[in-house]
Amino acid sequence: MAPLISEKDLPDYRGKVVLLTGGNSGIGYATIQILARHGAKVHMATRNESRAKEAIQKITSEGIGAGSIEWLQLDLSDPRSAARAVQTFLMKEQRLDLLINNAAVGAGPFKLTSDGLLDIMVTNHISHVILTKGLLPLLKQTAAEPRSDVRIIALSSASHTFVDPDSFATRESLNKNYGNSLKGALNTYGYSKLACMLYFKALQKRFDADGTRITCVTVHPGAIRTPGGESVFADTPVVGLLFAKVIMPMMFGNWKDGALPVLYAAAGPKEKFKDAAYVTPKGVEAPSKAAVNARLSEEVYETTERVVKELNL
């Protein structure tokens, strides 16, 4: 299967600012590397400074041309860290052209945080919403400029198809945990990714209604061998460990393979990405029925907004 986009197809990103969550390894690492090579100023938003700086040094040593990479402290397991990261970023930058919500966790066992929220939902969805909401004024300011092309990309997963919830209308619905088995962990991960997809569908609806020229895209990068993916399976005795150490290296793609659908969402024709389109390695595809359910989308949006407000950040 031919890739959706190649590096040579990407536009010149000189003068453009990108923020990507995660990125010291995996798909985010490859995405940052390619965007920087095309001139972008990229903020790698991660928790661990030493790992981030080690990754930045490695990328830089391999050549990034006119681009640059900076570390931004962000611990997505803590909503307050997301709020602080917004303030730090806003003190540094006058524009934001591309926000890529890339980071995620998937390995259980999952537990409630001190805020009474399921930890995987905080990391994969709620903290990303806090980050996005805080950066919206700058994103909108950049989008108002002539010839701008501002996009918000949220990494999702095919595992969102594993679940079919009835409702997201309550705070408790965000805490749904399918258990600590391998299947349960994958379902809980997929549930968090479905919430993310539904939220950005509702956000795009609001952008379209008020004429905001920002494009939201959700992306399933494909079956990619990443440290995070390996950890989900490696934590499961025998079968999971065998899958992580033997099957994944043979059957799963590399980091760059996973970055290409993200880059297509970042630089592909905007007219293809209506209603927070779902991009896979094959192109724009239909997600699950739950992911396009208008009622669920509004419920996720309203419930998440209410939870964020209750956190009083």
The confidence band for 240, taking pLDDT boundaries of 50, 70 and 90, is: low
Residue 36 pLDDT greater than 90, yes or no:
yes
Query: Regarding predicted confidence, which is higher, 234 or 167?
Result: 167
Q: Is the peptide bond before 109 cis (omega within 30 degrees of 0)?
A: yes
Active site residue 288: no
Residue 131 pLDDT greater than 50, yes or no:
yes
Active site residue 189: yes
Q: Which of 189, 191, 199, 278 is catalytic?
A: 189
Strand-pairing partners, residue 18, are 42, 98
Q: How far apart are the first and last CA of the chain?
A: 46
Query: Regarding predicted confidence, which is higher, 250 or 21?
Result: 21
Residue 241 pLDDT greater than 70, yes or no:
no
Q: Which of 81, 156, 159, 297 is catalytic?
A: 156
**CB environment 233-252: b (16+ within 10 A), e (fewer):** bbbbeeebeebbeeebeeeb
Residue 15 pLDDT greater than 90, yes or no:
yes
SS3 label, residue 182: helix
Q: Which of 192, 193, 201, 301 is catalytic?
A: 193
Strand-pairing partners, residue 245, are none
CA distance 99 to 150: 8
pLDDT digits (tens, 9 = 90+) for 95-108: 999 999 999 998 78
Give the pLDDT confidence score for residue 251 in this predicted structure: 52
Active site residue 41: no
